Structure 1
Amino acid sequence: MSDHHHHTHQNKKYEAKTLWVVLLTAVTMAVEITFGITTKSMALLADGIHMGSHVLAIGLSWLAYVIVRKVSASQKYNGDSNKILSLSGYSSGLILLIFAFFILIEAFQRFINPEVIIYKDAILVAIIGLIINIASAFLLHHDHEHSDHNIRAAYLHVIADALTSLSAIVGLIVAMVWDIAIIDPIVAVISSIVIIKWSIGLLKDSGKVLLDIDDNE
């Protein structure tokens, strides 16, 4: 019984944290898209749209906690609420994987058709994005990383975004200073590979819970 109360309290805490992150990410997305349109910067517009994918995925994580809270209070539900969180984590992992491949395809297209990059604007917004992602990562930081695939999925999304922002800052500065535009897509490819590795790990772990696969067997 005490274990049930512990999980309920933990889920409420994670629900509040994920909601804050959704709101933070949504505001950043709106700023980036607006700034991208007004400055006619495709780099900023693309980054804002990319941020939108994380609003969707982290919003899914928040919704999962709301559903778990509702069904846990219902006398009719006798299932395992952890499976709802794992299903959300699995779905979020798929979204992360799809967008990692999308970034990879875009990067390869940049190799073939290089574009003029508005470096200063792109660096500025990448720095703002990095600050927001660091704040979100602190909000979503948790001790029991493997016990809740839903909060882990949300955490991986903000860490993945922080990685892309950080690598973009480094890549853009190097490209701007030494006038080597190819650095930008190279950094994007490296970031995509790391994100793909993370998302596959999340899919495996949450998939095991959904299929009732015990690692000890």
Structure 2
Amino acid sequence: MAHTHSHNGHSHSHDHGHIHGPITNINTAFVVGIVLNLAFVVIEAGVGLYSKSLALLTDAGHNLSDVASLALALLAFRLAKVKPTHTFTYGYRKTTILVALLNAVILLIAIGGIGYEAAMRLNHPQPIEGREVAIVAGVGILINSLTAFLFFRSQHTDLNIKGAYLHMAADALVSLGVVFAGLLISATGWYWVDSITSFIVIVVILIGTWGLLRDSIILSLDGVPKDINLDEVESKALQIKGIHKIHHIHIWAISTTENALTAHLVLDSNTDFEAADQIKKQLRHELEHMNIQHATFETELVTQECTSRQC
């Protein structure tokens, strides 16, 4: 019975388009977010060109990068539904992880751009039409906050949703800072306030982005997802009657919503084929409650346990 391989009782759910939250269809949330932010980019760029405001034109360019990030995330969700092929046996589900990593990088690049612009203006303050900038930024707060709300309750279910939420929340903070700076500049003429506010916003964005970058890098390198504990998996397996030992465990993310596991199960010497099948079914059921949807086991008896070199 050594080295049997079975998927009996292995059921999966692959509904990538529906995630619990304020909007059940996450595709709709992305489309609404893209449309709202693209409209704001057009308005902001138009006002910036009319008023010759470099601040508004720069922010419009930053918001355009966020629209691109939302579009990439939506594309990843669509690709995740593509059926497996002979070349891509998991389909394109991994693109959800790659897009999450790309979004984290885009956020860091945006932070660098904002920081550079803030530093230049701190050394060489430029006259700004504070009230006009504050009004447009106020509109930005409403649009970015509304878009962020679309992803708020679902941000912990998927890295791409978390990335979208961070992008929009960061933009809302930037807009809030611009409103504050615009009103203060309008009242006092202190143009350096614009740069100081930008630096404060950068720190806030960086704190949120760091977690997204760390998690997406771990998943890209097939690391164990953060919500899964390897020791707990081993402990749960050993609680099942008939499993003497579990080793050669590998856990990785197939996508930002699906995880997989392979392992060797060392069973009691008197275990027959039918009993082994029941043990695997029970363990798969337990693993599904630990957010591991795909589990593949290789079984062996205590008397036939493979060596570390064989494994």
User: TM-score when scaled to structure 2?
Assistant: 0.64
Asked whether the equivalents of residues 18 and 59 of structure 1 are also in contact (C-alpha less than 8 Å), the reply is yes
1:4 counterpart SS class: coil
What does residue range 2-41 of structure 1 map to in structure 2 within 5 Å? 3-10=12-19, 13-41=25-53
Higher strand share goes to which structure?
2
Alignment of 1:121 onto 2:132: yes
CA contact (8 A) 2:84 2:90 kept: no
Tell me how far 1:40 sits from its aligned partner. 1.9
- Which residue identity does 1:31 align to in structure 2? I
Give the whole-Å Cα distance in 1 for the aligned partners of 2:49 and 2:56: 8
Which residue, 188, 191, 194 being the options, matches 2:198?
188
Could you tell me how far 1:5 is from its partner in structure 2? 4.3
What's the counterpart of residue 304 of structure 2? none
What amino acid maps onto 2:107 in structure 1? L
Number of residue pairs aligned between Structure 1 and Structure 2? 214
Determine the C-alpha separation between the residues in 2 that align with 1:88 and 1:19.
17
CA distance in 2, matches of 1:30, 1:20: 16
* RMSD across aligned positions (CA): 2.1
Aligned amino acid, residue 109 of structure 2: I
Cα deviations by residue, 1:12-64 (Å, 9 ceiling, x for unpaired):
82222111101111110011111111222222222211111111111111111
Structure with max Cα Rg? 2
Distance, in Å, in 2 between the alignment partners of 1:81 and 1:146 is 22
Q: Which moved more, 1:132-141 or 1:158-167?
A: 132-141
Greater RCO, 1 or 2 (C-alpha within 8 Å, sep 6+): 1
Q: What is the CA distance between 1:3 and its match in structure 2?
A: 5.0
Asked if 1:175 is matched to 2:185, the reply is: yes
Question: C-alpha displacement at 1:174, in angstroms?
Answer: 2.2
Q: TM-score, normalised by structure 1?
A: 0.90
Letter in 2 for 1:99: A
Structure 1 gap ranges (5+): none
* 2-structure distance, mates of 1:66, 1:207: 22
CA contact (8 A) 1:171 1:187 kept: yes
Q: Percent identity?
A: 31
Unmatched segments (≥5 aa) in structure 2: 1-9, 231-311
